[in-house]
Structures are given as C-alpha cells and as structure tokens.
Amino acid sequence: MGSMGEGARFLMGKLAHLIKKNKSGLVAILLAAGIAGFSTAACAGPRVDGDLLMGDISSHTVKKRESLFDIARKYDMGIIELQAANPGVNPWQPKPGTTVTVTKRHLLPGITRDGIVINLAASRLFYFKGPSEVMTFPIAHGKDGWETPVAATTIVEKRLHPTWTPPPNIRAENPDLPDFIPPGPNNPLGDYALALGLNGIMIHGTNAPSSIGKRASHGCIRMYPEDIQSLFNAVKKGTPVLITKTPYVLGWKGNKLYLQMTPKVHAVSKSKTPKKPKPDKFLHAAVEREAGSEATIDWDLVDEVMARADGIPTEIARRPFFGPPAPGNNLDHPQRASLTIINENNLSLR
C-alpha cells in the first residue's frame, strides 16, 4: 500500500473495529479538522491558511432548452446537490430566465491530506495533491442493493481505454449483455478507470453523465468524463483512498463554525419550505463539543440547516477570537484534526 497520513491509519483501525462491532449498519464519520493552507483546482475558491471552508456560492440564469443536468455539468456539480439548492425547480425543463443557486462551497474532510477521500453521503470526491492543494469532483456511487463499501484502500491499477467485462451478478440482471464491451462511446467505464483494492470496485468515467450526483452504479464510483481525465492524470498507483459516509460536517473558517448537511436523494423536495425542524440530540452534542465554551451557537439555525439539508455550509456559531483552543474543549486548531464517529442511526460510538 502507498503511504498514509496518521489520520488515515487511525481511521483504518477505527473502521475495522466499528464495522466488526456494527455489522448491520454503515459507519458514518463526522469530520471536523483544520487544514493549514490550500488552493483549489476543480473547485474554485480563495487560498485561506488554516480554514476548512473552500469555494463560493454564485448564481446562473437558465437559458432556453437548458436543463439542471446541463447546468450541473457546466459547474461541475452533481444533480442532487444542485436540486437541493434549488427546490421547486423542474430539473428537466426549468423555466428560461430562472435564477438558480450554484454552490461550489464545501467543508473539506480533515482525516488526511494524503490521497483521495470520498464522501458517499455528499456524492463527492476530494483529492489532496499535497498539504496545500486539493481537487474536488462530484460522483455517482452504488444504488440500493449495490452499495459502495466504506473502506480504506489504494489505487492498484490505472487503465486507459478500458474494456468492460460484465461480471456474473450484473449479467444476471441483464442476460443480453455481450461478453465484453470494447473501448468507445458505449463503454460504461468511459475512457479512464482506476481500479481499487476492493473486489471489482473502480473509480471510472461514464457514458451516462446525467447519473452524476446520484446513487446509480453497481458499487463503482462514476465521474464526469472530463473529471476522471483530470483525476487519472493527477494520481498514481498506490495512492491511498478513503471511502466514508458523512451525513453532516462541521468546520471552522476563522472564528466562524459552519455546518454542512448533505442532501439525500429522497429528501429533494418540490417544496421550497423545509419541514418543521426536529432537534437532533446527537447533532446538538457534536456541535456543542466542536464549538466549545467560547462560541455563541444559534440552535434554531442548527435545526433549520438539518431540516433544509441543502448541502450548503452555513455559519451556525461564532467565537470572539480565532486562536488555539482553550484547554479542555474540542475546538479545532489549524494544525490539528478532530473527528467524531457515529453510525447511521446516530448512536454515538465515541
């Protein structure tokens, strides 16, 4: 395996223990960490030393015969995250002239600054090219019954113009599939594939770009053709890959604490009004622990962000100064990372 940072090695041990202990549920990881400086590649944003928040929020005016799928690809977003930020907008036939919100703002995962981190809940991949540069891309991943596994692995092979040989379990679903599909426009792997050290799981391109942002694959990670080309050219064999499932993320920008609640496919509503917020005691505990005693927390906004689940990082707390954490609390520091591990039922495991 390639070299891994301390955070990655720590997570591997935690994942192994928790998966063994909680066989019935996927592990979700709530990350809060400081990254000492970064510049963005695939997601434009300012270089801000010590901050966890990257990117910005802009708008786009819908043109004639333009769908949300077109807009999502134009801005390198997944369709679900674009829909979540624009509830009530018809994804296939939005009204020309409609102003849609384009969110390129993300809270960075802080487990490691080494290699690839995939957050299945957010349908997003981050690639740390080093301690000061990160690329991020939207992805599609495993659908019901074909879930992409939570795991720590590496890239074991790079394949240019791959041939796809349908495995027996996929052939059972579609007996009319040919024995193999050669490289070309009909190949579901696209032009680039990165094989992982997981049975049959790859990061690859797609001939169905409208699926990006959804749970749509048989377990593999799909990317837009232009995105997988960029990633393929940037990584090498042995690059570490962490696959996590993080339903919400907390992170600091200066003295402000942000909460990002990842949207779910079934939660993308036609209504512009979110359901009445229901406090989540486990989320509240995580916020309180991360904020520490110095910060002022807007609890109503915490509940609203949870109910809205639009994927947009929102300021929920503020402390009077930005500096090293006071003794005894769990505040982030630019040189440190903290994480809280929960399972899919929000039962605290720490």
Structure tokens belonging to residue 75? 């801005």
Residue 200 CA to residue 220 CA, distance in Å, equals 8
Give just the sign of the alpha carbon dihedral 79, 84, 85, 89: positive
Task: Tell me the C-alpha to C-alpha distance, in Å, between residue 187 and each of 66, 165, 204, 206.
Answer: 26, 10, 11, 8
Active site residue 333: no
Q: Give the CA dihedral 171, 174, 177, 181, nearest 10 degrees.
A: -70
Cα–Cα dist 324/81, whole Å: 34
Q: Is 204 marked active-site?
A: yes
Q: Which of 1, 4, 8 is nearest to 238 (CA)?
A: 1
Q: Helices (H) and strands (E) in the chain — how many of each?
A: 7, 21
Nearest of 347, 349, 324 to residue 339 by alpha carbon: 349
Tokens representing 297 are 């927390």
Catalytic residue among 106, 141, 204, 218: 204
- Give the active site residue among 17, 220, 266, 333: 220
Q: How many CB atoms lie within 10 A of CB 44?
A: 14
Residue 252, beta-bridge partner list: 257
Handedness of CA 339, 118, 317, 285 (dihedral sign): negative
Q: Which residues are catalytic?
A: 204, 220
